[in-house]
Amino acid sequence: MLILLGLLAVPFLNFETEKVFQGKNLQQWVKELDADPELPRKIIIISALGMFDSQSLPFLEKLALNPDLEIRTKSISTLQQMGKTAVPTLAKLSANSPKGVRLLALTALAGLGEDAVAALPELGILTEHFDKDTKIRALATLGTLGSKGYPALPFLINSFRSPERDVAELALRAMVQVCGWGNNQPGGNVIDAAMKLAPMKGEPGVLVLSKLLMDSDAEVRINAAKLLGEMGAKAIKAMPGLQGALQDKNGKVIDAAFDAILKIKP
């Protein structure tokens, strides 16, 4: 009989009660919002949605695109307050939304610092956006990722070469942040200095150097190949990129890539 009672108790031990905030579940809050209350009440409801973790993300994403600026702003600030859980949603909004929403989402990501690292792919692409404000905001946000933003180095290098001084300066600032230089920025060629950190980054460093094998500057391509060669077997994932570099138009790049291949896979 005791065994039977124990078995009957198992389902109750695994039962999860529905999350409730101020006496209402998520659907009840959404239903109230759908009833179109006055703006002050809508703002309160949007804050409440943030208490329901990932379940509320689709609703907040939709609200972030609302025509009303106050609703958009509150929705995105609520997403920011949710932290890491909301990073994919904020990244999506920054990549696929009208400019106003895009800039708000980027600001929210910047406010999360290193916790926003999951948005790195979108941030990198946005550094090449046609809209300058977006480009600048994306560069600033990458800098807030600190050392976790190092995989974006190829994008930062490209922006560093921008003819627009403010873009180039912001790219340099972000590069200093992701390289962890602080007030000890190295003299000379900062691009070379940043690349030399790659071997210490493990696989992310290999991926950075692999991307730089396609850089517009032949010297960068040569240095990337040499650094990969120095890593030996640890750079095995760079083999496709190095094999592609054997078709480079620059003979020195080809030689460096060939030497690297021999060192990685003798």
User: Could you read off the pLDDT of 21-69 as tens digits, one per residue?
Assistant: 998 999 999 999 999 999 999 999 999 999 999 999 999 999 999 999 9
Q: 92 and 61 in contact (C-beta within 8 Å)?
A: yes
* Residue at 242 is within a domain: yes
Average pLDDT value for the chain? 93
Give the domain extent around 237: 201-266
Task: With a cut of 60, say whether residue 205 has pLDDT above it.
Answer: yes
Q: Tokens 């690292």 sit at which residue?
A: 117
Domain assignment present for 184: no
The span from the CA of 90 to the CA of 64, in Å, is 10
Q: Which residues of 213-226 are buried (b: 16+ CB within 10 A; e: fewer)?
A: bebeeeebbbbbbb
Residue 196: inside a domain:
no
**Neighbour-count burial for 150-186, b at 16+ CB within 10 Å, e otherwise:** bbbbbbbbbbbebeeeebeebbbbbbbbbbeeeeeee
Which pLDDT score, from 0 to 100, does residue 185 have?
A: 80
Tell me how far apart the alpha carbons of residues 224 and 121 are, in angstroms, rounded to a whole number.
Answer: 21
pLDDT at 7: 43
Averaged pLDDT, 211-223 = 97
Handedness of CA 36, 39, 40, 43 (dihedral sign): positive
CATH of the domain at 262: 1.25.10.10
What is the rounded distance in angstroms from the CA atom of residue 147 to the CA atom of residue 136?
19
Q: Is residue 250 included in any domain, yes or no?
A: yes
Looking at residues 8-17, what average pLDDT do you find? 50
Rounded Cα distance, 198 and 205, in Å = 4
Render pLDDT for 62-95 as a digit per residue (tens, 0 to 9): 999 999 999 999 999 999 999 999 999 999 999 9
CB 136 within 8 A of CB 160: no
Confidence of residue 184 (pLDDT cuts 50, 70, 90): confident
Domain count, the chain: 1
Position 240 in a domain: yes
Burial of 232 (0-12, 13-18, 19+ CB in 10 A): middle
pTM (two decimals) = 0.88
pLDDT at 65: 97
CA atoms of 180 and 201, how far apart (whole Å):
12
pLDDT the model gives residue 183: 79
Residue 51 DSSP label? G
Tens-place pLDDT, residues 236-256 = 999 999 999 999 999 999 999
How many Å apart are CA 263 and CA 266, to the nearest integer?
A: 6
Considering the domain boundaries, does residue 206 fall inside one? yes
Residue 130 lies inside a defined structural domain of this protein: no
Which region among 6-10, 59-63, 169-173, 202-206 has the lowest average model confidence (pLDDT)?
6-10
* Cβ count near 238 (within 10 Å): 29
- Say if 243 falls within a structural domain: yes
Mean pLDDT of 83-112: 97
Quick: pLDDT tens for 133-152. 999 999 999 999 999 999 99
